[in-house]
Structure formats: C-alpha cells, structure tokens
Chains A and B, each alone.
Chain A
Amino acid sequence: MAAITEKTGITRRKVHIQGNFERRAFLFMRLSGIALLILAVGHMLIQHVLNSSTNLTIMFVAEQWNSWGWKLFDFLLLAFTIPHGINGLRNILEDYIHNKTAMKFINLLLLIFVVATLLWAGYAIINFDSTPFMN
C-alpha cells in the first residue's frame, strides 16, 4: 500500500525485495566461471587431448589419483562444475516454467541432486585407494 507521509511528501511503498540468493547465484556463476576456465578447459586439454580416451585405463586413473595434487584438482573441478551447471539449468528452466509451485519443487530436486552428487563423487575421490591397481 502506498501512503504519502504528511511531512516529507515522500511516497513509501511496501515492496517485496528479493533475497540475496539470486545476487549471490549471479556472482557465483561469474566467479566459478573464471575458475572453470582454468579447471575445465585445462581438464579437457590434459585428459581428452594430450592424453587420449582411446588408451585410458583404470590404471592410468589410479596413477593420477595416487597424488593429492590431482585429487585436489578433480575435487575442485567437481565442486565448481555441478553447482555452476545445475544453477545454469535452473536459470533456463525459470525462463520457461512460470508455475511457482512447480518451480519450487524442481528447485528442491535440483538442490538434492547437487548435494547428492557432491557427496557421492567427493567421497569417491577422497577415499580412492590406488594400490590395488598399481603393479
């Protein structure tokens, strides 16, 4: 409701201010994007061009994950890629789905998916033991 205060003549209007989430998501997309320029493009060039998938074996993976440096690289790649990608998908879906209830439900599913993927794959990277594969 708009109401004019007698003294100042300023119109005060109660507006619904969107929370900080969208602002933070916007910023996250830019910052993680810069990180992914190094991480994702680097990963593609190293693992998919310099090393070819045609001679990729689990032994090669075990050799890389024998070093904490590679584990950290792949963990960071995981931690930035999935939230960046799923938030991008959310941005696209919100352009086409105007039903608020449906969108709330989809957002919940996407959030669960992000958390589940990070936990499942993060657990795998951290706990992977190279010894059985290296001889």
Chain B
Amino acid sequence: MASLALTVREAFRYRGRSGQISWIAHRLAGLAILGFVVIHIWDTANAFFAPHIYAWSLALFKHPLFALGEIGVMGAVLYHAFNGIRITLLDYKPEWWIHQNRSATIVWVLFLVLFIPISLYMFFSFMGHCSELAAQGMSCWTIPSLSDFPPGMFD
C-alpha cells in the first residue's frame, strides 16, 4: 500500500513525460475496462441462466449514468488497444525505441481522431433516446424496478 501511495505521488512529481503518461493511461484504461467487462460478462450470462434479470439489467443500462460509462469504456478500449499495439511493436523491435516519444504522440492523435466523433455520436444518440421518452411523458432517469420483470416472463 505504501508503494501505491508512492506511485500516485510520484506520478505528479516524476517528469517521465510521454512514456510515463502512456504507462499510467494504459493501466487506468485497462483497469476500467476490466471492471466493466467482468460485470458485463456475468450479466450477459444471465441471458441463459436468468433471462428476466438480464432483461431488467438491459433496461437499467439505458440510464444516463450507464450511457456515460459506456462512452468512457469506448474511449478506454480505443486508447488501450492502440497503445497496446504500440507496446507490442516496440517490444518486438527494440531498434524502434528511438521513436518512443513520437509513437506515443501518434497513439494519442489516432485515439482522439476516432474517439471525439464516436463519443459525440454516442452522446447525441443517447440524448435522442431521452427526448423520445420525454415526448411520451417518461424520463430516461427512471430506474427500472426488478418487480416489473417477473421470473418466467419469457416462458
């Protein structure tokens, strides 16, 4: 634990520049994806084991907080994927290490070029969903109740 505190402190103090920022971003994005993916997988398995609970969770994931999280995961996947390929290439060809700094910049640019339009698209299509509900007198902020999804509803 002491080393974790040290890492957090040194992350701001240590001037590792591009390589260090990539290293932190890669780890944080990886942890974020893992947290999401574990929930996502055990939830999706419910489509087989408990379909009514799965149907309820699909309704819950239409809540604005989950929609925001979904955009975040999209960004994390894109950055982690591109930076992971960069790491793999540099591990494979040590003679390319002189391009460390430039390759990190390329990854950030590639990430932003894709993530900015995609996140805007996801955000506005979610806003469209909310205003559709609002037109019907409902709200996308409503948290669905599990009792509306009784066991055996798909029998």
Chain A residues packing against B (C-beta within 8 Å): 30, 33-34, 36-37, 40-41, 44, 48-49, 52-58, 61-62, 65, 78, 81-82, 85-86, 88-89, 92, 95-96, 98, 117, 120-121, 123-125, 127-128, 132-133
Chain A residues closer than 8 Å to B44, beta-carbon distance? 61, 121, 124
CB–CB B74/A58 < 8 A: no
Of B30, B85, B155, the contact of A37 (CB 8 Å cutoff): B85
Ordered nearest first, which 7 A-B pairs have the shortest CB separation? A124-B48, A54-B129, A85-B34, A124-B45, A121-B45, A33-B84, A30-B88
A106 to B61, CA, bound (A): 31
Chain B residues closer than 8 Å to A30, beta-carbon distance? 88, 91-92
Of B38, B49, B54, B121, the contact of A117 (CB 8 Å cutoff): B38
A58 to B27, CA, bound (A): 33
CB–CB A61/B30 < 8 A: no
| Distance (whole angstroms) from the CB of B135 to the closest CB of chain A | 14
Additional A-B contact list (15), CB under 8 Å, known A54-B67, A54-B125, A117-B41: A33-B88, A34-B85, A44-B77, A49-B74, A49-B118, A49-B121, A53-B70, A58-B55, A81-B41, A82-B41, A89-B30, A117-B38, A120-B42, A120-B45, A121-B42
CB–CB B38/A96 < 8 A: no
Chain B residues closer than 8 Å to A81, beta-carbon distance? 37, 41
Chain B residues closer than 8 Å to A127, beta-carbon distance? 48
Determine the residue in chain A with the shortest Cβ distance to B4.
A96
Q: List 19 A-B contacts (CB under 8 A).
A: A33-B81, A37-B84, A40-B81, A48-B73, A49-B74, A49-B118, A52-B126, A52-B129, A53-B62, A53-B66, A53-B70, A54-B62, A81-B41, A88-B30, A88-B31, A95-B7, A96-B4, A117-B38, A132-B51
A125 to B18, CA, bound (A): 41
Chain B residues packing against A (C-beta within 8 Å): 1, 3-4, 7, 27, 30-31, 33-34, 37-38, 41-42, 44-49, 51, 54-55, 58, 61-62, 66-67, 70, 73-74, 77-78, 81, 84-85, 88, 91-92, 118, 121-122, 125-126, 129, 154-155
Which secondary structure characterizes the binding site on chain B?
helix
A54 to B123, CA, bound (A): 11
Determine the residue in chain A with the shortest Cβ distance to B27.
A92
Given known A41-B81, A58-B51, contact A89–B125 (CB-CB < 8 A): no
Given known A44-B74, A49-B118, contact A132–B3 (CB-CB < 8 A): no
Chain B residues closer than 8 Å to A56, beta-carbon distance? 58, 61
A92 to B51, CA, bound (A): 35
A37 to B125, CA, bound (A): 25
